[in-house]
């Protein structure tokens, strides 16, 4: 059940809707999809919450079922059911935000490319699975080889970052948690300048998110791999060429 703080947030959102202040549905554009893209456990859910709180923006997902919205509550995440196929959404005159953890297969769509130190992402994902053998689950995640779908961390990240494009904006997890309002506003000023922040927006604290679901919002800071990733799996992570390329591209050090 949502904590009391989130009851307040969702009540505010409902008032905004009645007052006509939530304008995503009213924005007419020329066939715009904005992907909210990341490897799992890179801050995507927090970003969706911020889009919802700061702009009243609702997000659907590329998947048939949004397990995160079902777990946390659709009003918290700002979930909306995907109204049509991706192709039909592209052809519409509405602005659509779609969450995905998959590798990029679309060239022209706009995207928020949310990135996090891969070691923190894989540790967090292994915890979230609830696997009885944490290290075996970590090894499985590192060893993923899928060329479609989520894939491994490095391949996934590189699919969104390369080649660089002005309509794909890189957003770092570290910036998102340090300055959430400024980071999101700067990103949307580039990708969707027609949207304006809501005047009475309030951002939930990590303590409130942790109270909502402490297993989902577990630690909420960079560097969690330093005391959770065993050395042999750290070496395995760095043995993957895609991981090395992506980490170096993003400026993450093997020893940080």
Q: Dump pLDDT digits (tens) for 217-228.
A: 999 999 999 999
Query: Strand, coil or helix: what is 140?
Result: helix
204 is written with which tokens?
A: 């939930």
Q: How many independent structural domains does the chain possess?
A: 1
Q: Is the residue at 151 inside a domain?
A: yes
Q: Is the residue at 207 inside a domain?
A: yes
Write the pLDDT tens digit of every residue in 36-87. Answer: 999 999 999 999 999 999 999 999 999 999 999 999 999 999 999 999 999 9
Query: Strand, coil or helix: what is 36?
Result: strand
Q: Is the residue at 243 inside a domain?
A: yes
Please tell me the predicted confidence (pLDDT) of residue 100.
98
- Burial class of residue 27, CB neighbours in 10 A (0-12, 13-18, 19+): middle
Please tell me the predicted confidence (pLDDT) of residue 31.
54
Q: Is the residue at 125 inside a domain?
A: yes
Q: Is the residue at 155 inside a domain?
A: yes
Please tell me the predicted confidence (pLDDT) of residue 93.
87
The CATH number for 96's domain is: 3.40.50.300
Paired with 100 in beta bridges are: 37
Residues of the chain with pLDDT under 70: 1-31
Q: In this structure, how many other beta carbons lie within 10 angstroms of the beta carbon of residue 224?
A: 18
246 is written with which tokens?
A: 């992506």
Please tell me the predicted confidence (pLDDT) of residue 73.
96
Structural domain including 194 reads: 4-250
Q: Is the residue at 255 inside a domain?
A: no
Q: How far apart are CA 13 and CA 6, in angstroms?
A: 10
Q: Is the residue at 176 inside a domain?
A: yes
């Amino acid at each position: 059940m949502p904590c009391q703080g989130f009851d307040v947030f969702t009540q505010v959102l409902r008032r905004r809707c009645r007052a006509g202040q939530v304008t995503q549905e009213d924005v007419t554009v020329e066939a715009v999809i904005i992907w909210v893209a990341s490897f799992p456990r890179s801050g995507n859910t927090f970003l969706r919450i911020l889009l919802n709180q700061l702009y009243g923006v609702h997000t659907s997902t590329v998947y048939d079922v949004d397990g995160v919205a079902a777990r946390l509550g659709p009003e918290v995440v700002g979930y909306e059911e995907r109204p049509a196929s991706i192709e039909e959404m592209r052809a519409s005159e509405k602005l659509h935000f779609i969450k995905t953890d998959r590798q990029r297969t679309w060239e022209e769509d706009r995207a928020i490319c949310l990135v996090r130190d891969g070691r923190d992402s894989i540790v967090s994902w292994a915890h979230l699975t609830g696997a009885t053998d944490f290290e075996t689950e970590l090894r499985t995640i590192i060893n993923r080889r899928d060329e479609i779908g989520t894939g491994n961390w490095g391949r996934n990240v590189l699919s969104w970052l390369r080649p660089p494009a002005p309509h794909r904006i890189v957003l770092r997890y570290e910036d998102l948690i340090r300055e959430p309002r400024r980071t999101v506003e700067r990103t949307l000023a580039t990708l969707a300048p027609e949207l304006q922040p809501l005047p009475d927006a309030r951002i939930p604290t990590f303590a409130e998110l942790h109270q909502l679901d402490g297993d989902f919002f577990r630690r909420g800071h960079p560097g969690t791999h330093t005391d959770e990733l065993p050395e042999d799996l750290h070496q395995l992570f760095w043995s993957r060429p895609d991981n090395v390329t992506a980490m170096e591209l993003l400026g993450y050090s093997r020893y940080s």
